[in-house]
Amino acid sequence: MKNCQNLGKTIIDLKDGPGSDPYKCECSKQYSGDLCKIVPLPSVDSAILSGEPADFLTRLISWTGITSSTIWNLCWRATKHGWTVSTFHENCDFKKPTVNIIKVGNFIFGGYATESWK
């Protein structure tokens, strides 16, 4: 039996076959991990990530070292603010750190800068 936390429910899952632990935690929204102990993800205003699995954001956070309590602020979105480089710099200069998320077709990529753009 699992001691699931954060309103997670213990379920029996036999798909891993004989010899495996059949007890699993079914976590409530925004919690994950073996016992649903991983803290909720921060709210991120991202049109790109909103349709992706939660583990995209989990991996992004672990890669950058940003904590889950960090408040994310959108400084620029091309579809909202315009596509010019000057518009990007007007909105994002002197802000740090910054995360850029780009989607081209089915590919998602980006960058992380610890220093200000200007």
How confident is the model at residue 68, as a pLDDT? Answer: 61
Boundaries of CATH 2.10.25 in the chain? Answer: 1-38
* Helix, strand, coil in percent for the chain, rounding step 5: 20, 20, 60
40, 5 in Cβ contact below 8 A? no
Residue 76 pairs in a beta bridge with none
Q: Chunked in runs of 10, what are the mean pLDDT values of the chain (118 residues)?
A: 86 81 80 76 78 75 71 90 95 93 91 90
The answer regarding whether domain 1-38 maps to CATH 2.10.25 reads yes
User: pLDDT tens digit string along 57-77?
Assistant: 777 777 777 766 677 889 999
112 within 8 A of 98, measured Cβ to Cβ: yes
Alpha carbons 50 and 61: distance in angstroms, whole number: 15
The answer to whether the beta carbons of residues 35 and 1 sit under 8 Å apart is no
